[in-house]
Amino acid sequence: MIMEYGMIFIALACVFGFFMAWGVGANDVANAMGTSVGSKAITIKQAIIIATIFEFAGAFLAGGQVTATIRKGIIDTTSMAGSPEIMVYGMLASLLAAGIWLMVASRWGWPVSTTHTIVGALVGFAIVGIGVDAVKWGKIGTIVSSWVVSPLLAGSIAYALFMSVQKLILGTADPLKNAKRYVPLYIFAVGFIIALVTMMKGLKHVGINLSGGENILIAILSGFVVMFIGKYFISRLKFDPSADKDFHFTNVEKIFAILMMVTACAMAFAHGSNDVANAIGPLAAVISIVNSGGELAQKSPLPVWVLLLGGGGIVIGLVTYGHKVIATVGTSITELTPSRGFAATLAAATTVVIASGTGLPISTTHTLVGAVLGVGLARGIASLNLNVIRTIFMSWVITLPAGAILSIIFFFILKAIFS
């Protein structure tokens, strides 16, 4: 069976994997770009250029030499050694199901979790293809708990960060002078945190395994480098005192806009390295099963062209369809300025670092939406659009079952066609 249809399976896996990567680009890249566009620090065109370069770089450079076939150990595959074709149908069904759900969600501008979409799809196929016992339900419980934990954690950090901006800069007698003094320190914090995200999330795939101390040392050095670059650009800014007449902080926000450029590039890189695996993990599994003549390896070596396919899909998804979710995250939840957008993005990145260190499975989407909510709350509940928030929460709850149901349907269709 595997040998007979091998090339067809690989071709389908490439098409479905590309479609899933397209969905990641259309839906998830808003996590990296939504706050920057919403705060008007960069235009949508600039966001697409930044994301194209840094998402692709993250996906390609740090997206994983070896992707575990079974994403995050959600399915126990020991019982399937005798029927590898079931695994192939399951992976194909999961990719197609996840791609379709992400397309639907992006069409409506819902920021959903690509990780949870593919997890839901894998669980759906495992229940009908292998049996309920094959699903590691403890893992699913942890994922469900992260729906609450990651937005709460990111929201709290964002709230605290924005309050510090209020206290140190916006609420003082001379906000512009204080912005010049304190923003370089915030830029250091961004450089430090994002370097840590990249070291912890990305580089272990490339075979660079550093100790915790080495990671922190490199992150501190990166923080200083980014800080000096930021200081240089701030020194080049031209300030117009008359601009502050209508909006008291126009000149201060110019300084924060520089900070947003840094966070946008960094978040895009971290996201590309982290989430490309959602699309190419199942694809790598199919290629591995076909090439080995039906052997189920726990890890599959990843050909370079698969990373290129994943990175390319993410970029095309963003360019063609990403604007809808960017609008939801950046403008619909609460009104953002560069200083608010910065607090949200840094809080989200910090949460990713904490989660990497503690092994908590989180979704970048939930984290960033939580952080934007935290910034909104710092300005009072009236500044939040509660209708949009309700819709977003509903779309999160639907994601796991939607992925599962679609996956079950496609699994039976594929099984009927090929067996």
Cβ(277)–Cβ(63) under 8 Å?
Answer: yes
pLDDT tens for each residue of 341-354: 888 888 887 887 77
The helix (H) or strand (E) run that includes residue 326 is: helix 323-327
d(CA 270, CA 349): 9
Residue 243: other Cβ atoms inside 10 A: 13
Q: What is the C-alpha to C-alpha distance for residues 296 and 320, in angstroms, rounded to an integer?
A: 36
Contact residues for 321 (Cβ-Cβ < 8 A; gap 6+): 22, 25, 26, 103, 106, 107
Helix axes 137-165 and 386-418, enclosed angle (nearest 10): 150
Per-residue pLDDT of the chain (419 residues), as tens digits, is 677 878 899 999 999 999 999 998 888 877 678 888 888 888 888 888 888 888 777 777 766 543 444 445 677 777 776 777 888 899 999 999 999 999 999 988 888 888 888 889 989 998 998 888 888 888 788 777 877 888 899 999 999 998 998 899 888 888 888 888 888 898 898 888 878 777 766 555 556 667 778 888 988 999 999 899 888 888 888 887 776 666 667 788 888 888 888 777 877 777 777 677 777 878 888 888 888 776 766 666 677 788 888 888 888 888 888 888 887 777 777 888 888 888 888 888 788 777 766 666 677 788 888 998 898 888 778 788 888 888 888 988 899 899 999 999 999 999 999 87
Nearest to 385 by CA among 109, 173, 167, 145: 109
Give pLDDT tens digits for 303-354.
Answer: 778 888 888 888 888 888 888 888 777 777 788 888 888 888 888 878 877 7
How many C-beta atoms surround the C-beta of residue 209 within 10 A? Answer: 8
Q: Residue 283: what pLDDT?
A: 85
DSSP string computed for 82-126: T-HHHHHHHHHHHHHHHHHHHHHHHHTT----HHHHHHHHHHHHH
Q: Is 16 helix (H, G, I), strand (E, B) or coil?
A: helix
Distance CA 63, CA 337 (A): 32
pLDDT of residue 17: 92
The whole-angstrom separation of Cα 364 and Cα 270 is: 10
- Residue 384 phi, psi dihedral angles, 5° rounding: -100, 145
Q: What is the pTM of this model?
A: 0.82
- Which residues, 6 or more positions from 246, have their beta carbon under 8 angstroms from its beta carbon? none
Q: How many CA atoms lie within 13 A of 161 on its CB side?
A: 31
- 3-state class of 180 per DSSP? helix
Helix, strand, coil % over all residues of the chain, rounded to 5: 80, 0, 15
Q: Tokens standing for 123? A: 């669980």
d(CA 376, CA 341): 10
Distance CA 122, CA 114 (A): 12
The tokens for 282 are: 């199942």
- The C-alpha atoms of residue 252 and residue 186 are separated, in whole angstroms, by 14
CA distance 373 to 158: 8
Q: What is the CA radius of gyration of the chain?
A: 22
Q: Residue 69: phi, psi to the nearest 5?
A: -55, -50
3-state SS class at 380: coil
8 Å CB contact between 329 and 34: yes
Query: Burial level of 242, CB count in 10 A (0-12/13-18/19+)?
Result: exposed
